[in-house]
Amino acid sequence: MTERDLLNLKDEIDEAKSSVAELKGQQTVLMKQLKDTYGCQSTEEAEALIAKWKKDIDKLQVKIDEGIKELEEKYSV
């Protein structure tokens, strides 16, 4: 490996370190937003909350469908 190769490798490592630091900063901001907005301490808690919301949406959709069916039957639509 030449000196130039080593310098190029050093530059790549420095860029990777910079990218890692930037991504960690973004992760910190997003985790804070997740905590502040939804009260979730981790992504696992957020995934559980999303699963609960999906179930709630499904239940509401069933009620809406039943209500529509009832109205259609009642008013012969």
Residue type, position 76, single letter: S
Is 73 strand, coil or helix?
helix
Identify the pLDDT of residue 63.
98
Identify the pLDDT of residue 32.
98
For residues 30-60, one letter each, b for 16 or more C-beta atoms within 10 angstroms of the residue's C-beta and e for the rest, the string is eeeebeeeeebeeeeebeeeeeeeeeeeeee
Residue type, position 73, single letter: E
Tens of pLDDT, residue by residue over 52-77, are 999 999 999 999 999 999 999 999 87
Identify the pLDDT of residue 77.
72
Identify the pLDDT of residue 69.
96
Domain residue limits, the chain: 1-39, 41-77
Mean pLDDT calculated for residue range 30-52: 97
> What's the pLDDT band for 39 if we cut at 50, 70, 90?
very high
